[in-house]
Structure 1
């Protein structure tokens, strides 16, 4: 038998099987899409590709010795049985107590009943979306926004609208416009989402005045606000702005009266592989999230929570300092390289921290189309910006991550990318 015939037969069988299953999947599955970032991460296995795609921490910064020591101490100690056993859905109590102290240091007076541990902040986003969104409800997000947030919200079938964080119009007028647009679509505003500090994907930080205006809008709309604080600790310069939850508590006097749901994580500061994050919010919200957690996975891995607690107690501050020093150097290297290698007509953000720089190309260039040539001819990878827009716009934008590349690789990679873009601009002239 011809091998090609056999291969075609197998492909035909696979297509028929997929079509059969597609008939059985719920309609909600149509909104589930593969992450462009997850796919691009596969390029990291190709050593000749310089990748600015995955916004992942540098593994060389992980406290590996301390992690190994923590696992060893736990498994050799009196708590070994508890570490390997089922546990409460709220999370490991000593870790939650550490988070309470941490949140208080951020200006958020709270108690242990305001904290629930999640499997990374990504699970937190999924649980919050499940709790608040019904099909067709309006979710307010920035344009662009974190792709993972869109993936978490999409299965619950929301309608998206722009979160107007740059407008100086009165909150009442902004809220009325949001409500009118939602009503015209047969919808209602139900939830808002924002990364306020050195955000993914743009690296932008919302200033104090912008935060106060946003809280005014949330008050006028009377909806919950997700504060995604994944990068809050990774600031290299500038002013540490108070968290939205801290500002709302200052207004209302008590966390129990607030609408803000703070999502924190240890992934960017300690290590992502332990998958430990948390939600800090009013106790009634946390109680509902606990019920969702029970149905979802019962609880996050107890031993990982115990290890995270030991790391938080012993090396958290040192790890934040180490990460900021490393990423600050790499950000500077990328900004310097962009300034020397990018042609006229290309713009970029200047973040005060985090892991990302947002690139804006001339309007006629499509970053998704350009990516194919960047990978094949220049061996460069980035994330096309359209992935971060709910409506697929922003085709001439791209996200560059500086967290995982050395200054030398950044210099070489930006040089190659600048050469490619300059050629495209010259060709169109």
Structure 2
């Protein structure tokens, strides 16, 4: 007997993140990486955080910053977030806000809360890899969510879920500038998701990590705002909103939040108590300080810089890619989704890209619950400096052109 013989069955569904492994390439200075979906650290509000931590530790709140915190989260921060959500069209108060250690922890908690083995989660094809990793441990079945319209009826979803041994528990999606595709759902598509969830009597998990990163076009109301308008108030809604400070302020503090009906928040608090008691007090207090003083200005800064980088990468793709290659043109976010002709395996192509051209990207199959999409890849443009534009994309185009010539 070895210790591995004692592992729970769910451990077999825990797999390494291809993205986290690819981040190791960033330590190689000659690699031009479009792989990691990470913010540009040069844009972090360093001075604002220096002042925040100095004020927190130098003032009357120093003891509270170093002490245990309530599991729901720091009350002034929850009140700030309640006002923020109200501005987004979701009237609520601090009782609807739950602080997480990054929005990734929120996804894990929601999977734990809702999924029994063999239950069904509806996810887009492709979807955020981190969500699949979070949900996998709870042994669900995945079914394809098609917000743009498909042939699957609510009855067919329910019948397939019952045949698998459970029921449909939630629809998970990233409606704004999705990871990995960069796509944004229209108002009609968001309403359609709510219609489907109502017929299935399931929850909707709205992952809003990129919601603030809009560079073009008109904002679309969050799904949770539409749900509140339908149901009358948040506590009667079925949507659970996962937000994050990582893409705007700083990911290293691991600070996110969930906005949801109180009955959901109450259960999440119990899970937090059992897992890690609470998110770090000092980080919550520092995030509040920076949010109150710098959030709006920081949003404008990252929008301007990332919007320019997106434009540069899109222009470079237009100039460098051979015929038959297609890509998304996102209105915001951090990602461009590239589709190559059928028959090209981007996992194998990545090995060539790193060895021959010193360029990295994320193979698309990692984002599909069934491992399909092998001719797709994801490019992140948030770190796209001049070298990435003038050398990286042309190298990738040259490699793809050569791969097509070999067929």
TM-score, with length taken from structure 1: 0.94
Question: Of 173, 181, 200, which aligns to 1:202?
Answer: 181
Q: Does residue 386 of structure 1 match 2:365? A: yes
Q: Aligned ranges for residues 165-204 of structure 1 at < 5 Å?
A: 165-167=147-149, 174-204=153-183
* CA distance in structure 1 between the partners assigned to 2:379 and 2:44 by the alignment: 22
> RMSD over aligned Cα, in angstroms?
1.0
| SS of 2:98 mapped into structure 1 | strand
Contact persistence 2:119–2:164 (CA under 8 A): no
* CA distance in structure 2 between the partners assigned to 1:313 and 1:182 by the alignment: 45
Q: Aligned ranges for residues 58-77 of structure 1 at < 5 Å?
A: 58-77=40-59
* CA distance in structure 2 between the partners assigned to 1:249 and 1:102 by the alignment: 15
| SS of 1:216 mapped into structure 2 | helix
Contact persistence 1:334–1:407 (CA under 8 A): no
| SS of 1:156 mapped into structure 2 | coil
Please state how far the C-alpha of 1:116 moved relative to its aligned partner.
0.6
* CA distance in structure 1 between the partners assigned to 2:344 and 2:319 by the alignment: 20
* CA distance in structure 2 between the partners assigned to 1:74 and 1:184 by the alignment: 55
* CA distance in structure 2 between the partners assigned to 1:155 and 1:63 by the alignment: 35
TM-score, with length taken from structure 2: 0.99
Which residue matches 2:75?
A: 93
Which residue matches 1:240?
A: 219
* CA distance in structure 2 between the partners assigned to 1:186 and 1:69 by the alignment: 54
| SS of 1:98 mapped into structure 2 | helix
* CA distance in structure 1 between the partners assigned to 2:243 and 2:225 by the alignment: 14
Which residue matches 1:279?
A: 258
Question: Of 111, 117, 140, which aligns to 1:129?
Answer: 111
Please state how far the C-alpha of 1:180 moved relative to its aligned partner.
1.8
Question: Of 360, 363, 369, which aligns to 2:339?
Answer: 360
Question: Of 417, 420, 424, which aligns to 2:399?
Answer: 420
* CA distance in structure 2 between the partners assigned to 1:20 and 1:373 by the alignment: 38
| SS of 2:251 mapped into structure 1 | coil
Q: Which runs of 4+ in 1 moved over 6 A?
A: none
Any unmatched runs of 5+ in structure 2? Answer: none
| SS of 2:267 mapped into structure 1 | helix
Q: Aligned ranges for residues 109-148 of structure 1 at < 5 Å?
A: 109-148=91-130
Paired residues in the alignment total 407
* CA distance in structure 1 between the partners assigned to 2:269 and 2:121 by the alignment: 23
Contact persistence 1:402–1:410 (CA under 8 A): no
Which residue matches 1:43?
A: 25
Which residue matches 2:275?
A: 296
Question: Of 332, 345, 352, which aligns to 1:373?
Answer: 352
